[in-house]
Amino acid sequence: MTTTLELLAPFSGPAIALDRVPDPVFAGRMMGDGLAIDPLSPTLLAPCSGAVAQLARTGHALTIAADNGAEVLIHIGIDTVTLEGRGFRPLVAVGDRVRAGQPLIEVDLDAVARQAPSLQTMVVIANSDQFHFPRRAEGLLEAGRSHFLTLAARGAVSPRESAGGPERRGEAVVRHEGGLHARPSALAQQAAKRHAAEVFIELSGKRANARSVVALMGLGVAEGDRVAVIASGHDADAALAAVIEALQTRSEAGHAAAAPAEAREPVAGYLAGVAAAPGLAIGQCLDHGSQRRAWRSGGWSDWTPSRCRCRNRARALRKSGPRWRRR
């Protein structure tokens, strides 16, 4: 089994560094290290071969257990768990064997973009502490063809093992909006990792290691579910209390409202405006308002907006809109 894995682009679109993602859990690599992409194609493709280890009940995220042991978590959009599956149509199920480039989820990009803060899709390695990343893609990528991310194992990739020692048990009612989706799972994972103990969460006969975001998401825990928490090891008592607190401290699925755009003084020769949402702006920029007229020697002359091909980020358009030209 090779220890190096080459991931292909899961969507067509521009690659985005993980620390630029507008979600502190992903940007802070609490879910693991990786790379993001702004999707311009409607179907999520498998970035590598492997088995589907987890599929969110809302269809917005899944995990592939790659052949080299990597847990490749793909999360489509920001706060898309709140859509309750609207705009997502999974084409695979847990346990399915998939090949690189195979369609996994169909996404109604227009519908999701209208209801979610961002379409940016994160591809993170949930057990990234066992890998390093010698190469990350940049620029515009083609789904299923372009290189996306290279990861190489630091050593033999091993599954998580029990810590042993005294065992403590407790219960928690999950208060997070939307249940244990990506962000709450990462918070529970961080609480477990701070202690020298192994923590498991049980629901309906299924058990997940609290140190694994993939395993936690795979439980399918909904808001209001009562789960059992089992801790063992030297810090079992402290770990039990910390994980229960993380599960029962409510968090909202959505982000805080964005700050209002700063008003700017109009600048002669520029179109004013603000970006409606972060993302990629492609196409012709035209002012469909009435033409302006200006006096020049010999009489009046029309002013018309120039056409511009813009492949910069939307925020670039905030700084410099298309210039007016005279004809």
75 is catalytic: yes
3-state secondary structure of 184: helix
Q: Which two tokens stand for residue 24?
A: 């502190």
Q: Which two tokens stand for residue 215?
A: 């395993």
Widest pairwise Cα distance in the chain: 95
Please enumerate in sequence order all residues whose Cβ is within 8 A of that of 156, keeping only pairs 6 or more positions apart, or say none.
none
Q: Which two tokens stand for residue 26?
A: 């992903």
Residue 183 · residue 251 · CB < 8 Å:
yes
Give residue 248's Cα distance to chain centre: 24
Report the C-alpha gap between 206 and 65 in whole angstroms.
19
Residue 4 · residue 151 · CB < 8 Å:
yes
Quick one: 210 exposed, middle or buried, by C-beta within 10 A (0-12, 13-18, 19+)? buried
Residue 324, strand partner residues: 305
Cβ neighbour number for residue 279 with a 10 Å cutoff: 19
- Measure Cα distances from 157 to 51, 108, 160 in Å: 16, 36, 10
Encoded amino acid at 7, one letter: L
Q: One of 60, 75, 176, 195 is an active-site residue; which one?
A: 75
Q: Which residues are catalytic?
A: 75
